[in-house]
Amino acid sequence: MQTRNKILDDLSQLMTNAMGVAQGARTEAETAFQSMLDRWLAEHDFVTREEFDAVRAMARKAREENEALKARIEALEQASK
């Protein structure tokens, strides 16, 4: 028959409770940090990835149109000479 040691049982229970408290503190810290980060990002004028990609596509199209117009102007200038 195995005898149980009250001190070891209490120590084991204490360690189990401490791990639960540590996990709870970690979760609470992560939540607080995420809230702080969300608040900071909301205060600044950042754009989403989708908005950035849309503006980049618009800029690329404008450059292409600009190059086409530049070539057309050069061709018209050459024709008028």
Dig out the tokens for 2 from the structure.
């195995």
The torsion angles phi and psi of 2, rounded to 5 degrees, stand at -100, 135
Mean pLDDT across 9-22: 89
Nearest Cα residue to 70 out of 78, 35, 54, 34: 78
User: pTM of the entire structure?
Assistant: 0.47
Strand ranges in the chain using DSSP code E only, listed in sequence order: none
Output 9 or 74, whichever has higher pLDDT: 74
Output 72 or 9, whichever has higher pLDDT: 72
- As a whole number of angstroms, the longest Cα–Cα distance in the chain is 112
- Domain segments of the chain as ranges: 1-45, 47-81
Output 77 or 46, whichever has higher pLDDT: 77
39 membership: H or E segment, kind and range? helix 6-43
Q: Which residue has tokens 């149980």?
A: 4
